Structure 1
Amino acid sequence: MKVFPFTIPKKPKENIIVQEDITKTFFDRLHQHSEIQISHIISGKGKLVVGNTISRYSKGDTFAIGSNVPHLFQSTESPKKSHMISVFFLPNAFGHNFFDLPEMEDLTGLFEVLNFGVSIKQIEPELFKKVSKIKNTNRFFLFMNFLELLKTIATKEKELLSQKQYQKPISNNQGTRLQVIFDFVIKNFNQNITLTKVAAMAHMSPNAFCRFFKQRCNKSFFTFVTEVRVAHACQLLLDENDFSIGEIALKSGFNSISNFNKQFKAIQGLSPLKYVKSISEP
């Protein structure tokens, strides 16, 4: 099944799509769609890939992802189900000039920044629960609550998730190749990953694959692999388990503690121990 591009299922004349996912794992294949996506995590945690960047998500997080921005949510294995409420809409769903009206000036600049994907701070979960509750009852009140949600997002502090702005859809051929590679790395980051193997998966020579990945992700393939490994290490460090630094390094795909510490500090700016301390401090 090709997940590039992905089509959001919707009913006829449905301009605001509200989707509630309560499942063991979210849709964990790299994909993109024309609809802007706003998602709030009610429960669950895992890795989030947006564009060319690896992040983490957990309970209470809110993300807004622009049109055609490649992304995936990978849930951490847990006996408990993950729960996410998402709102999808096309930028021109209400007319090409709707968001240019003077009454919409509070949203100025919002949609442009969403092309990078953003994490939004301090969003009240009640806004999403309200939208989900009325999604099938009253379109007018759904629209009003949707506008309230957009205005709230526009006024909140935001953090960019991607280093690269995405506005154009990736072709099916390119998307399929990237999806295969991303899927392989996300599931096998703790193993030895060779350039020869991933290049063969993409049906390219190693040199051609390196150019292909760098041009589309704005970073080298092995930089991406290291970021996935460090993101997993961050999860383990914050999960309050009894793993030693050496065990966390091994479980994250690093073959030595020294290399783990070096790569971790290069990406996070802190050593693993200082990272934990910085998170735990009030």
Structure 2
Amino acid sequence: MRVLQFTIPVAHEKNIIVQRDVLPHFYPHLHRHNEIQLTWVQQGEGTLVADNNMHTFRGNEIFWISDNQPHVFKSDPSYFLPRSKKKIHAMMLFFNPVGPLAPLFELQDTKGIKAFMHQHKGGFKLPQSQVADISQKMLRIRDTSGAVKMICFLELLQSLYNIKDLVSLGAGVQSNIPNEHEGVRIGSIYNYIMQHYEEPLTLEDVAKRAHMTPQAFCRYFKKHTRHTFISFLNEVRINEACKQLTAGSYESIANIAYSCGFNSVTNFNRVFKTVTGKAPGEYVDHYFHHVETSFAPEP
């Protein structure tokens, strides 16, 4: 995947960076950076693209993005409407595992944490049952300084290390550092598809947007994303359908299918099972039987 190389805009003397964002929407471009990123989405919803995989995100969820892992937290299209008053609230913790902190992870007592970071190059999502504890540890890091901050940071990493049921986000296969032109181009294509998935998008439409012939676009898109145009569009649409199905209330499966860009319920059911491995009804039953809810509002 070709993405923008991103520099975290903070003072260079800081080894552990905590950033709080309250914005109309998340940063909308595919990017990566040298730092590991732990993101607590306090308020907001949308789609997380990590490597070439898509995941729904909602408020009070925490995600680990590995160093140099391509990603974007793409807010729902409703956040980009002209009169939208929606806001996202998020707290991010950044640290570079091979920067000034590298000697810390060479100590005998922290080699397990170093192995943990290497094992999770694809990133992960925390189980909901762990969000309250980890978010409180993030707040303690934010509110401390000096040696106390470092102690809290190590406690956070040790707690993450002890969690067994982490949900992987991506494959963890990292490509070479891209040039900026390619990052902007593929990011623009992703953004266009994710903002117009509910429309009857065609290959010709998106190829024209990318200033390519359909044949050239197919080769380009598959090379840089390992998806075909149709497989990516289907995943975006099914990801949106999953959000609507698990939101708690909906009129019918048919309404969801049409609102997500499918032209028939039969086609929707077929694609849904191909992407998720379950029929829509089975997916909902599984979700509400296995997902715990817990809330940890920020003080």
TM-score (norm. length: structure 2): 0.85
3-state secondary structure, aligned to 1:163: coil
Counterpart CA distance in 1 for 2:173 and 2:141 is: 33
1:87 aligns with 2:99: no
Q: Corresponding residue for 1:110?
A: 116
| Cα distance per residue 1:133-178 (max 9 Å; x no partner) | 5536513222211111112112212121113512533221221111
| TM superposition shift of 1:58 | 1.9
Counterpart CA distance in 2 for 1:136 and 1:279 is: 35
Structure 1 counterpart of 2:5, one-letter code? P
Q: Corresponding residue for 2:297?
A: none
| TM superposition shift of 1:236 | 0.8
Are residues 125 and 93 of structure 1, via their aligned partners in 2, closer, same or farther at CA, if it must alter by over 3 Å?
farther
| 8 Å contact from structure 1 (residues 264, 270) kept in 2 | yes
| Alignment RMSD (CA, Å) | 2.2
Structure 1 counterpart of 2:117, one-letter code? F
Q: Which of the numbers 132, 155, 159 marks the counterpart of 1:125? A: 132
Q: Which of the numbers 196, 199, 206 marks the counterpart of 2:214? A: 206
Aligned residues: 280
Counterpart CA distance in 2 for 1:164 and 1:197 is: 31
3-state secondary structure, aligned to 1:281: helix
1:6-17 aligned within 5 A: 6-17=6-17
Counterpart CA distance in 1 for 2:202 and 2:63 is: 33
Counterpart CA distance in 1 for 2:260 and 2:230 is: 14
| Cα distance per residue 1:98-142 (max 9 Å; x no partner) | 313212122142222332121122334354345445536513222
Q: Corresponding residue for 1:238?
A: 246
| 8 Å contact from structure 1 (residues 32, 169) kept in 2 | no
| 8 Å contact from structure 2 (residues 185, 210) kept in 1 | yes
Are residues 168 and 99 of structure 1, via their aligned partners in 2, closer, same or farther at CA, if it must alter by over 3 Å?
farther
| TM superposition shift of 1:243 | 2.6
Unaligned runs of 5+ in 2: 80-84, 291-299
Are residues 131 and 54 of structure 1, via their aligned partners in 2, closer, same or farther at CA, if it must alter by over 3 Å?
closer
| Cα distance per residue 1:200-228 (max 9 Å; x no partner) | 33333322322222222222122111101
| Cα distance per residue 1:48-84 (max 9 Å; x no partner) | 1111011011233211111221211123447664322
1:145 aligns with 2:147: no
Unaligned runs of 5+ in 1: none
| 8 Å contact from structure 1 (residues 41, 59) kept in 2 | yes
3-state secondary structure, aligned to 2:281: helix
| TM superposition shift of 1:28 | 2.6
